[in-house]
């Protein structure tokens, strides 16, 4: 990856909306906002058959499941958690970083997580958010490898 790689601003519009909203709120209001996002996430059902070991994200005290889809070179994520505040955090992360290419995802850093201004969270939740970014980056790399293998296999047939 090129260390100078920049993600175009239009690719991070959802991220910027979250940053702006969270910057505007005080600490108590941030928690309410995150919980509201978690409640809204329930309006789009997460596939029950994906709440399994294959989709679980390790590194979080709550149970978190993330599904990934590669479509047209862009990576899309959906997530679920058994804890409402974590469900909101998962929704923020998957919403903010869906639609990016592998190179764009790889260019994301822990500064992007810090940029969400979630310092009021416990250290464990902050670590979990950072682990979630690393997990989404790992899922994108795996999907790219699988797509390359499928391409090579198809070409060989």
pLDDT at 99: 94
Helices vs. strands in the chain: H and E counts, helices first: 6, 2
Q: Low-confidence residues of the chain, pLDDT below 50?
A: 1-2
pLDDT at 122: 67
Token pair in block for residue 115: 């940029």
pLDDT at 33: 93
Environment class of 75 (CB within 10 Å of its CB; exposed 0-12, middle 13-18, buried 19+): buried
pTM for this structure? 0.88
3-state secondary structure of 46: coil
pLDDT at 65: 96
Domains of the chain: 9-150 (3.90.1010.10)
pLDDT tens-digit series, residues 22-35: 888 888 898 899 99
pLDDT at 1: 46
**CA separation, residue 91 to residues 33, 35, 126 (Å):** 12, 10, 15
Taking the C-alpha atoms of residue 89 and residue 62, their distance in angstroms, rounded to an integer, is 12
Catalytically active residues are 60
């Amino acid at each position: 990856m090129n260390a100078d790689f920049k993600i175009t601003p239009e690719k991070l519009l959802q991220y910027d909306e979250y940053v702006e909203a969270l910057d505007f709120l005080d600490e108590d209001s941030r928690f309410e906002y995150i919980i509201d996002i978690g409640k809204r996430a329930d309006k789009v059902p997460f596939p029950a058959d994906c709440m399994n070991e294959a989709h679980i994200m390790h590194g979080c005290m709550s149970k978190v499941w993330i599904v990934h889809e590669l479509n047209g070179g862009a990576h899309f994520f959906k997530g679920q958690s058994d804890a409402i505040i974590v469900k909101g955090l998962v929704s923020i992360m998957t919403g903010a970083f869906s639609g990016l290419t592998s190179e764009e995802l790889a260019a994301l850093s822990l500064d992007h997580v810090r940029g969400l201004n979630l310092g009021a969270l416990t250290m464990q939740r902050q670590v979990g958010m950072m682990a979630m970014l690393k997990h989404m980056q790992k899922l994108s790399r795996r999907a790219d490898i699988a797509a390359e293998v499928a391409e090579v296999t198809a070409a060989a047939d």
